[in-house]
Structure 1
Amino acid sequence: MHNQGQDKYQQAFADLEPVSSTDGSFFGSSLQAQQQREHMRTKVLQELEKVNLRLKSAKTKVTIRESNGSLQLRATLPIKPGDTDKNGTGRKQYNISLNIPANLDGLKTAEEEAYELGKLIARHTFEWNDKYLGTEAIKKDFQTVGELLAKFEDEYFKTHKRTTKSEHTFFYYFSRTQRFTNSQDIATAENLLNAIEKIDKEWSKYNAARAIAAFCQTFKIEIDLSKYSKMPDRNSRNIPTDGEIATGIAKFAEYLHTRGNQVNQEVKDSWQLWRWTYGMLAVFGLRPRELFINPDIDWWLSQENIDLTWKVHKDCKTGERQALPLHKQWIEEFDLRNPKYLEMLVTAISKKDKNNHAEITALTQRVSWWFRKIGLDFKPYDLRHAWAIRAHILGIPIKAAADNLGHSVQVHTQTYQRWFSLDMRKLAINQALSKRDEVELIREENAKLKMENEKLKLEIEKLKMELVYKRS
Structure 2
Amino acid sequence: MDSPVDTKIAQINQRLKLAQLGLQIERRGQKLGLRGTLPPRLGSDRLKPYQQRLSLGFPATTAGLKQAEQEVKVIAGQLIENRFDWRNYVAGVGWGRLDQLGLTQQIRAFERHFKNEPKRASNPTSTQTTWEFAYAPYLRKLEAIAESNPSLSLVEAIYATVRTTEVNSRSRQVCCTAFTAFATFIQLALPEDLKNYWGSYGTTQTQVRDLPPDELILQTWAAIPNPSWQFVYGIMATYGLRNHEVFFSDYSALQSGSEPTIQVLSTTKTGLHEVWPFHPDWIDRFNLRSGTLPPIQTDLAKTTLQRVGQLVSVQFRRYNLPFSPYDLRHAWAVRTIHIGLPDTVAARMMGHSVGVHTRTYHQWMTRRDQQQAVDNALARRR
TM-score by length of 2: 0.69
**Equivalent in 101, 114, 117 of residue 87 of structure 2:** 101
Deviations along 1:69-100, one digit per CA (max 9) or x if unpaired, are: xx942289xxxxxxxxxxxxxxxx88898x96
- Match runs of 1:266-415 below 5 Å: 271-293=226-248, 295-303=249-257, 306-339=258-291, 341-342=292-293, 344=294, 347-348=295-296, 351-355=297-301, 358-415=303-360
Superposition deviation, residue 335 in structure 1: 1.7
Instruction: Tell me: higher relative CO, structure 1 or 2? Use CA pairs within 8 A at least 6 residues apart.
Output: 1
- C-alpha contact (below 8 Å) 2:42/2:86 kept by paired residues: no
Q: 1:94 to 1:278 in 2, by over 3 A?
A: closer
Q: 1:220 to 1:292 in 2, by over 3 A?
A: farther
1:74 aligns with 2:77: yes
Superposition deviation, residue 236 in structure 1: 3.4
Deviations along 1:341-363, one digit per CA (max 9) or x if unpaired, are: 24x3xx32xx343345x533112
Give the 3-state SS of the residue equivalent to 1:338 in structure 2: coil
Distance across 1 between alignment mates of 2:263 and 2:86 = 45
Give the 3-state SS of the residue equivalent to 2:335 in structure 1: helix
Amino acid at match of 1:188: L
Give the 3-state SS of the residue equivalent to 1:157 in structure 2: helix
1:236 aligns with 2:208: yes
- The answer for the alignment partner of 1:172 in structure 2 is 133
Q: 1:42 to 1:362 in 2, by over 3 A?
A: closer
Distance across 2 between alignment mates of 1:73 and 1:300 = 62
- The answer for the alignment partner of 2:142 in structure 1 is 181
- The answer for the alignment partner of 1:11 in structure 2 is none
Distance across 2 between alignment mates of 1:239 and 1:196 = 33
- The unaligned stretches of length 5 or more in structure 2 are 1-39, 54-69, 148-152
- The answer for the alignment partner of 2:380 in structure 1 is 435
Superposition deviation, residue 174 in structure 1: 3.5
1:154 aligns with 2:112: yes
- C-alpha contact (below 8 Å) 1:72/1:95 kept by paired residues: no
- C-alpha contact (below 8 Å) 1:286/1:405 kept by paired residues: yes
- The unaligned stretches of length 5 or more in structure 1 are 1-38, 53-61, 66-70, 77-92, 111-135, 254-270, 439-472
- The answer for the alignment partner of 2:157 in structure 1 is 191
- C-alpha contact (below 8 Å) 1:323/1:404 kept by paired residues: yes
Q: Kindly report the root-mean-square deviation, in angstroms, between the aligned alpha carbons of the 2 structures.
A: 3.7
- C-alpha contact (below 8 Å) 1:238/1:377 kept by paired residues: no
Superposition deviation, residue 158 in structure 1: 4.2
Distance across 1 between alignment mates of 2:108 and 2:51 = 32
Mark the structure with the bigger radius of gyration: 1
Superposition deviation, residue 48 in structure 1: 2.9
- The answer for the alignment partner of 1:248 in structure 2 is 220
Deviations along 1:132-170, one digit per CA (max 9) or x if unpaired, are: xxxx987x26x33x4434444323234344322222222
Distance across 2 between alignment mates of 1:390 and 1:170 = 33
Deviations along 1:33-75, one digit per CA (max 9) or x if unpaired, are: xxxxxx96463873634459xxxxxxxxx9x99xxxxx94228
- The answer for the alignment partner of 2:33 in structure 1 is none
Distance across 1 between alignment mates of 2:368 and 2:175 = 36
- The answer for the alignment partner of 1:212 in structure 2 is 179
Amino acid at match of 1:410: G
Superposition deviation, residue 284 in structure 1: 0.5
- C-alpha contact (below 8 Å) 2:252/2:262 kept by paired residues: no
- C-alpha contact (below 8 Å) 1:283/1:326 kept by paired residues: yes
Q: 1:215 to 1:321 in 2, by over 3 A?
A: same
Amino acid at match of 2:49: L
Percent identity reads: 26
Aligned residues: 312
Give the 3-state SS of the residue equivalent to 2:179 in structure 1: helix
- The answer for the alignment partner of 2:369 in structure 1 is 424
- C-alpha contact (below 8 Å) 1:288/1:380 kept by paired residues: yes
Amino acid at match of 2:77: R
Amino acid at match of 2:244: R
Amino acid at match of 2:113: E
Distance across 2 between alignment mates of 1:239 and 1:279 = 16
Distance across 2 between alignment mates of 1:379 and 1:412 = 19
- Match runs of 1:123-138 below 5 Å: none
TM-score by length of 1: 0.57
Superposition deviation, residue 318 in structure 1: 2.4
Which structure carries more helix by proportion?
1
Give the 3-state SS of the residue equivalent to 1:389 in structure 2: helix
Amino acid at match of 1:237: R
Distance across 2 between alignment mates of 1:156 and 1:366 = 28
Give the 3-state SS of the residue equivalent to 1:101 in structure 2: helix
- C-alpha contact (below 8 Å) 2:129/2:305 kept by paired residues: no
Distance across 2 between alignment mates of 1:399 and 1:203 = 25
Distance across 2 between alignment mates of 1:158 and 1:325 = 36
Superposition deviation, residue 331 in structure 1: 1.5
